[in-house]
Amino acid sequence: MIFGRKAFLGAVGDFESAVRAQDAEGAERAFAQLHRAYGKAGDAEFREAGPRMSALLADVPPGPRAVAAVITGACVERGADAVACAPGVLAGAREAFAAAEAFCARWAETGGGDLPDPEGDELADAVVERTGLAPAVGWWTLPQWEMAALAMLNAKAVRRTFEGKGELLALVDRVAEASDHEFKCLAYALRVLDDEPLVVLHRESGTAYAMRMTGIGDNFQLHTLLAGALIGGRHVPGDAPSAQEIAVCRDAEGQVPTTGAFNLVGADGGWIWNEGTPSDIDVVDGARLLVLDPPPYQRGWPAGRFFPGMHGDLVLERVLGADEAAGWFAKVAPAKG
C-alpha cells in the first residue's frame, strides 16, 4: 500500500516533468504508471495530486487532456480542493465544447447525417478528414469533460465563484441543439441555484412563505423538500414526507419512494414540471415566485438527489403576514380549471 501511494505521486511528478518538457514518450509512460498506481493511492495523495493535475491540463495535448481532467475530478471526489482544481477543468471543458460546436457545424457543412457517437464509435480517419482534428477530438472527449466538470460543480464554492458559468451553459445548449445529443447532467449542474430567494404561495390556504434554496438539482428534489418544510412543519395540510425522504434530498445516500403533495405552478399559471430545475421558476420582484396548487393526480417517484455528490437544502426563513401575502398573490395568475 505504501509503495502504491508513493508511486501515485511519483507518477504525477513524472507526468508534470514530461508534459512541461514536451516529452511525449515520457508523458505517455508516466500516464500509464499513474493509471497503475491510482487504485492504491490514499486520500492525502489525492488531495495533493488534484491541484497539480489541474494546473497541468492546459499543457496536456487535447486527447489525453480529457482523461487527465477525469483523474483530476476523481481527486476532488477523494478530497482534493475543488476550488483549486476547478479553473483548469472548467477551462478545458469550455474549450472542448467550443471545438465540438465547430465539429457540428463542419459536419453539417460537409453533408450532415447522423453524428458519430462519442461514447461508442471509434474516431475514424474519415471523420478527422471531414471536420479537422481539433473539432473531432473536442466532440469525442465531451463525455470525459462532462464527468470532470460535474465533479467540480458538486461544490457550492465552485458554483458560486465560476464566472464563466453562463458562457459554458450557452455553449452546452448550442452543442446539444446542433447535435441532438443531450448533455443533461452538465446543463442541470450549470443551472443549479445557491442561496436563492424563493417565495412560495399556497393557494388553498392563502398563505405565503419566504424560503431560500441551495444545491437543488431538479424539481423532484425541490418538491419533496417543499413538502417537508411546509407540511412537515404544519404550515399547510397534507401528508408529510418521512425524515428519510427529506434526508436523501439533502445529503444522505440513496433513494426512498415518495408521493407528490402539490402541483408546482409559475406566476403566469403555467406548470413547473418536476422534470425541470428550480431555474425554471421565474423571478418576480427579486425572488423566484412559486405557487402550490392541489395535485391533479397522484404521482410518485424515488426521492433523492439528481446529483448524488451535491448537497441540497431548502430553508424556511419566515411565514409572511397576511398583507404581504396578499401583495404576492396579486402578482400571480388565477388557478387554471
If asked whether residues 116 and 174 sit together in one domain, one would say: yes
Q: Which helix (H) or strand (E) holds 327?
A: helix 322-329
Residue 179 in grid coordinates: 447535435
In a domain, 249, yes or no: yes
If asked whether residues 206 and 115 sit together in one domain, one would say: no
pLDDT at 63: 82
If asked whether residues 122 and 151 sit together in one domain, one would say: yes
- 146 closest CA partner among 215, 191, 92, 99: 92
One-character DSSP codes across 217-239: -SHHHHHHHHHHHHTTTTSS-S-
Predicted TM-score (pTM) of this structure: 0.93
Domain end: 156, 191, 226, which one? 191
One-character DSSP codes across 146-175: HHHHHHHHTSHHHHHH-TTHHHHHHHHHHH
Residues 6 or more apart whose Cβ sits within 8 Å of residue 19? 27, 56, 59, 60
Domain end: 133, 165, 191, which one? 191
If asked whether residues 73 and 173 sit together in one domain, one would say: yes
Domain end: 137, 164, 191, which one? 191
CB 75 within 8 A of CB 38: no
CB 260 within 8 A of CB 301: yes
Cβ neighbours around 274 below 10 Å, total: 17
If asked whether residues 200 and 290 sit together in one domain, one would say: yes
How far is it, in rounded angstroms, from Cα 325 to Cα 112?
54
The distance between the two most distant Cα atoms of the chain, rounded to a whole number of Å, is 72
**pLDDT by 10-residue block (mean), the chain, 337 residues:** 64 92 89 86 93 95 91 96 98 97 96 87 88 95 97 98 96 95 95 98 97 98 98 96 98 96 96 97 97 94 97 98 97 84
Query: Domain containing 276: what range?
Result: 196-329
Q: Which residue has the cell 474549450?
A: 95
Residues 6 or more apart whose Cβ sits within 8 Å of residue 22? none
**Burial environment of residue 163 by CB neighbours within 10 A (0 to 12, 13 to 18, 19 or more):** exposed
Total domains, the chain: 2
Cβ neighbours around 167 below 10 Å, total: 14
Q: What is the pLDDT of residues 260-284, one digit of tens each?
A: 999 999 999 999 999 999 999 999 9
pLDDT at 337: 58
Q: What is the pLDDT of residues 40-81, one digit of tens each?
A: 889 999 999 999 999 999 999 888 899 999 999 999 999 999
In a domain, 316, yes or no: yes
pLDDT at 3: 39
If asked whether residues 186 and 203 sit together in one domain, one would say: no
pLDDT at 1: 35
pLDDT at 122: 81
In a domain, 298, yes or no: yes
Classify strands 287-293 and 313-319 as parallel, antiparallel or unpaired. Answer: unpaired
In a domain, 13, yes or no: no
